[in-house]
Chains A and B, each alone.
Chain A
Amino acid sequence: MKHEDYKALLPLEALSTLDGDEARVLGRHLATCAECRAELDDWRAATRALAHTVDQIEPSAGVRDRILAAARAEPANARLSPNVDKVVPISRPSIHARQPSTRSWGFPAIAAAVIFVGLIIGLLVLWRQNLATRAEVARLTEQMKQASGQLDQKQKILQLLTTPGARMASLAGTKEAPSAHGMLAVDSKSGRAVFMAQGLPQAPAGKAYQLWFIADKHPPMPGRVFKTDAAGEAMMDEQLPVEALAAGTFAVTLEPQDGVRAPTGPMYLLTKTS
């Protein structure tokens, strides 16, 4: 393909409408052509303008509540010291501190003040307990969701491995992560695959791992990007392109988080050679 042929594909790539083969060919060209990358950014700016054509619609109020509850329950932010003032409360109780009077109080007034302060403290305690309870519920919900997702993945692997024609490839850690290992189960007929990895270090900010399929007479074909959890584990579904069904080698490299069309970073996992 000539340079002009690649440029003609840029507006279509900006719409994410290129089919697999053309997208991969263009991706390889973009990796080496700064001019086309800059032009693609311009096309994307024009494309994103289409988002402005939609009607503005109000989501349910509960969405905001759920987002903030999930944010509070995120383990990544658990290291932050709790600071209620930083949180935008859904409905902050209206509490007006009372200024002490300079006049001398009689016993009934003092008793009333004590009761009042007690009520205020009780309300504050209840409010904080409510916040903590909601955060705990959100955290447990998230845990259940993750456990359910893992169960789904394991069922998919089992299903794949019991499919006639299924095959499995083991990946071993390279010098970048000697203790890491991975497994890819592939249904050779449909190209459906499930990938699992363990022992990978957490990807740095802006980076992610990317799976590659390597077949004879083909350059490495890009798979999905992924990140590991806190334990260094990752599981994901994958759909192998037709050309990759014959791939005998699989690898994982560290790349920019949006993925690349051709490997550029260090290799962390590679198919075991027996």
Chain B
Amino acid sequence: MQPEPAQTNDAELLHAIARGDEAALASLYDRYRLILFGLLVRILGRREEAEDILQEVFIQVWRRAADFDEQRGKPFTWLVTLARSRAIDRLRQLSARERLATATALEAPPEASDAAQDAYLSEQKEIVAGALAQLPEEQRQTLLLAYFDGLTQTEIATRLNTPLGTIKTRMRSGMIKLREFLGDRTASLRSI
């Protein structure tokens, strides 16, 4: 695996943001906008909603950077948690009709970005996608419904018309296998 190009500077950027450094906020945005926006679009299915949440996330980072605690996790993990949490809150406010994604509206190729960072993120994507591909379909499906659709186990059971106990077993087994497949690489993924 490639070395992580951004790891050493993320915490420093957050410290600078906490001191009111707008350039640091811009740098953090430039570094992670593609993957965070991709995550938000995947959850919300609409560019405009995803852009709204992306803006809220970075404004929250601006306000709360001083609260960031390195002992509790890495900056990227914090960003992903903020983004996913806000996106799922928004998702639950939207009607199913509003959530219908239009594939054409989502196709926007990335503009010029940090090549090393992009290569690194692409490599992570391959690793996790490879691990997911090794899961049985029903396990993968429940994990993705929970993570990207924000559904509770009961909601997943209802949607799949499957007993709740079966859903719990699938999710637990899927998570155990995912962690095993990621193996040593989990530590690397955790570190950004």
Q: Which residues of A contact B (CB under 8 A)?
A: 8, 11-12, 14-19, 41-60, 63-64, 66-68, 70-72, 74, 76-77, 80, 86-88, 205-206, 257
Contact = CB atoms under 8 A, between A and B. Distances in A.
A206 B69 contact: yes
Contact of B81 (A18, A48, A56, A63): A48
Contacts of B37: 56-59
B180 to A, nearest CB: 9
B189 A49 contact: yes
B189 A11 contact: no
B: interface residue count bin: 35 or more
Contacts of A74: 62-63
B143 interface: yes
Nearest to A58: B110
Nearest to A47: B147
Interface string B162-187: 00000010011001101100100010
B25 A17 contact: no
B34 A17 contact: no
Contacts of A205: 66-67
A45 B186 CA distance: 7
A interface majority secondary structure: helix
A157 B33 CA distance: 38
B156 A17 contact: yes
B59 A57 contact: no
A215 B33 CA distance: 45
B168 A12 contact: yes
Nearest to A204: B67
Q: Which of A44, A47, A59, A68 has the most CB of B within 10 A?
A: A59
Nearest to B154: A19
Contacts of B151: 17
A59 B35 contact: no
B54 interface: yes
Contacts, number: 167
A16 B150 contact: yes
A118 B154 CA distance: 70
Contact of B146 (A16, A60, A67): A16
Interface stretch (B2-10, B94-102, B122-130): B122-130
A56 B143 CA distance: 20
B172 A12 contact: yes
Contact of A51 (B41, B55, B80, B168): B80
Nearest to A258: B72
B154 to A, nearest CB: 5
Nearest to A45: B190
13 contacts: A11-B172, A11-B176, A14-B175, A44-B77, A45-B189, A49-B131, A53-B128, A53-B129, A54-B35, A54-B39, A64-B29, A67-B58, A67-B59
B63 A50 contact: no
B42 A54 contact: yes
B1 interface: no
Contacts of B88: 16
Nearest to B50: A59
A256 B22 CA distance: 27
Contacts of A19: 152-154
Contacts of A71: 22, 25, 59, 62
Interface in B1-52: 20-23, 25-27, 29-30, 33-35, 37-39, 41-42, 47, 50-51
A63 B54 CA distance: 8
A8 B41 CA distance: 31
B135 to A, nearest CB: 12
Contacts of A11: 171-172, 175-176
Contact of B118 (A46, A50, A56): A56
B186 A46 contact: yes
A32 B29 CA distance: 37
B23 A87 contact: yes
Contacts of A14: 175
Nearest to A62: B51
